[in-house]
Structure 1
Amino acid sequence: MALELRHLRYLIAVAEHGSFTRAAEELRISQPTLSQQVKQLERTVGVQLLDRTGRAVRLTDAGATYVHYARGALRDLAAAERAVLDLADLSRGHLRLALTPTFTAYLVGPLVAGLHTAHPGITLEIREMPQDRIEAGLLADEHELGLAFEGLHLPGIAATPLFTETLGLVTAADADPGPLPVRDLATRRLALLSGDFATREHVDAYLAAHGVRPHIAVEANSVHALTEIVRRTTLATVLPDAVTHDHPYLRPVPLDPALPSRTVTLLRRESAYESAAARAFTELTARLVRTRGYRPPPRGHARREAAGSGVDHLPGHSFQAR
């Protein structure tokens, strides 16, 4: 029997669900048909790929090895199809971008506007997720580019530093412009990102290092919610200074000493095919960073690949008053 792509997809579905029934439901085929197709694949490769003796269907050792390469083959085939359809003149194209949520407050809008103006034929898919999921998704070819922070990255991830992100107190535009000693935050009522954001961890570490226990009146897992709250109340928040770039009703207030800065990076999978749309987006990002006057990354920063990752997370929009 000749091997067909559906056999690979069927085997992967069974492996992921641990069940022929649930895999068949996802694939929209009958369970007997699915079972027959997987048996055909096992006969073709000449080895048992699934252990059907337990309550859940599991991969054998040979099956786990086969699925590893099957996933890679499907990923490479999808990349090949995109490469064939990719047009160098950028009259059409598609780009899949993943980013940590704080960038939606100041970076995504200008980037999308610039891309749409320069290349209206390119469609863009944007997803917010934690940085560890961004990197795993890049390796699995679920997206092509990621916007996140410098740190320890998963093997196979290439990181290009873009700019230095500075953070500070953010208040309504009619508030005192500062600078503000960090100890004074102990007497200010704050609205902060919730603890599932890496930015909040960054802020908490800074406050703890200076012995400050803030009065947190509001916690939110939406940057937009925070900016609206600060705009309409006397509460202050701590966010990247760049958030105020497009929000004239907000004012950045420098803290003394300043919060540690972070390096924003553009992530991609090493050796992955780079589409014309991805190249155009990369060039646009570099131009926008220069135009907006964002601080360049520290000297000596280059593409890095290592193990580990940071996290910035947005499970859903909600906020809790305290």
Structure 2
Amino acid sequence: MEIRQMENFIAVCEELHFTRAAEKLGISQPTLSQQIRALEDELGVPLFDRVGKKIVMTQAGNLYLEHCVQMIRHLQNTRDALAEFRNDQRGRLVIGVLPSDLDYRMTPLLVNFHTQFPKVQLKVVSSVYVLNQVLENEVDIGIDVTSAPDDRLVRISLCSEEYVLVVSENHDWAERSSIGIRELRDIQTVMFPEGFTGRELVDNYCRKYGFSLNTIMETSSATSIISLVKANVGGTVLPYPLIQAMNEPTLRCIRITDDPPYRHFEIIHRSDRFLTKSAKAFIEKTIAYFN
């Protein structure tokens, strides 16, 4: 049994189609089919049921896939460890971060890390699906809002951040220092689209008090939201430290009384993932930065 056989088998499982899997792997469909049949002969069990042009995984196929993924992951961890030893901390580190925080808050942390590890190629991915990216091994480390416990993850708390109402200096409420939570129903807002982490947090909070935000415009870009607020199209509700990092003198932050909403930040990585010295250093620097 070879690593290439396992990788080819995983590709067929992902596509459930020999021709598409072969195209993805850059080999011919007959060659791929022959390799899978040889693998089934070696294992002594069918891995796929072939029904006409369609294929479905057998129970044995599902079991073999689970172990293949684990073996491939362990092999990559071994390669990472050896690469770190061989290349004097060279390598690549992929970080998943929420879009708004990448736009406005992460630059000092990234500069600090690069100063200590100039040979490490750092890739920072902006996404609202940081948790899934960590679980799917698409990123090495994620910085995300706290979610439900998961035994597959190592989670380290970073900080808790209060949400505030943000308006333009020209807004009717610009001189106010605080509002009650139910007053949020009386203001037009510009928000992230439904489904975004921050939007869901605020919406769920408002529902507890029996109302929904009067959102007149949605955009997935934090930069666009701030530009629209500055133009006095409406207010928005965002974490106070994020607004501080923007350093926009024309914005006004209004605290929400009555137990304001908070987001709880954490840094996460898979519990079975090998962490290089540079990855461990990034985690330490992130903890210090947010604290």
TM-score (ref. length: structure 1): 0.81
Aligned-pair CA distance for 1:118: 2.8
1:173 Cα deviation (Å)? 5.0
Match of 2:178 in 1: 179
Contact 1:147 1:264 in 2 (8 A): yes
CA RMSD after TM alignment: 2.3
Q: Match of 2:12? A: 14
| Corresponding residue of 1:256 | 257
Aligned residue number for residue 111 of structure 1: 109
How is 1:266-281 mapped onto 2 (pairs within 5 angstroms)?
Answer: 266-281=267-282
Instruction: Report if the CA contact (8 A) 1:135-1:154 is conserved.
Output: no
- The CA deviation at 1:283 is 1.2
The separation in 2 between residues aligned to 1:140 and 1:194, in whole angstroms, is: 24
CA contact (8 A) 1:97 1:125 kept: yes
Deviations 1:111-136 (A, max 9, x none): 222222332222122223344xx444
SS in 2 for 1:166: strand
> 1:235 aligned to 2:231?
no
What CA deviation, in whole Å up to 9, does each residue of 1:23-62 have, x standing for no partner?
1111111111111111222222222222223441122221
Paired residue for 2:119? 121
Say if 1:106 and 1:245, in contact at 8 Å, map to a contact too.
no
Greater alpha carbon shift after TM alignment, 218-227 vs 23-32: 218-227
> In the aligned structure 2, how far is the partner of 1:271 from the partner of 1:21?
33
Q: 1:55 to 1:160 in 2, by over 3 A?
A: same
- Distance, in Å, in 2 between the alignment partners of 1:90 and 1:184 is 57
Tell me what 1:40 maps to.
38
Count how many residue pairs are aligned between Structure 1 and Structure 2.
286
SS at match of 1:154: coil
Pairing of 1:1-322 with structure 2 (within 5 A): 3-87=1-85, 91-131=89-129, 134-173=130-169, 175-233=174-232, 235-249=234-248, 250-290=251-291
Contact 1:100–1:129 (CA under 8 A) maintained in structure 2: yes
Inter-partner Cα distance in structure 2 for 1:18 and 1:89:
39
Q: Which runs of 5+ in 1 are unaligned?
A: 291-322
CA distance in 2, matches of 1:23, 1:107: 41
Q: 1:86, 1:93 within 8 Å by CA — same for their partners in 2?
A: yes
CA offset digits 1:245-270 (Å, max 9, x no partner)? 22222332211224222211111111
- Secondary structure at the aligned position of 1:185 is classed as helix
What CA distance in whole angstroms lies between the structure 2 residues aligned with 1:271 and 1:36? 33
TM-aligned CA deviation for residue 157 of structure 1:
1.2
What's the secondary structure of 2:177's corresponding residue? coil
Q: Deviations over 1:214-271 (max 9, x none)?
A: 4322112222211121123252110111122222223322112242222111111114
Instruction: Flag structure 2 segments of 5+ consecutive residues without an equivalent.
Output: none
Kindly provide the amino acid, as one letter, of the partner of residue 255 in structure 1: I
Change (3 A) 1:283 1:46: same
Cα deviation, residue 84, structure 1: 0.6
Find the residue that maps to 1:29 and give its secondary structure.
Answer: coil
Q: Could you tell me whether the CA contact under 8 Å between 2:47 and 2:58 is conserved in 1? A: yes
Do 2:104 and 2:246's aligned partners in 1 also have CA atoms closer than 8 Å?
no
Residue type of the alignment partner of 2:270? R
Deviation at 1:183, TM superposition (A): 3.5
Offset at residue 201 of structure 1 (A): 2.0
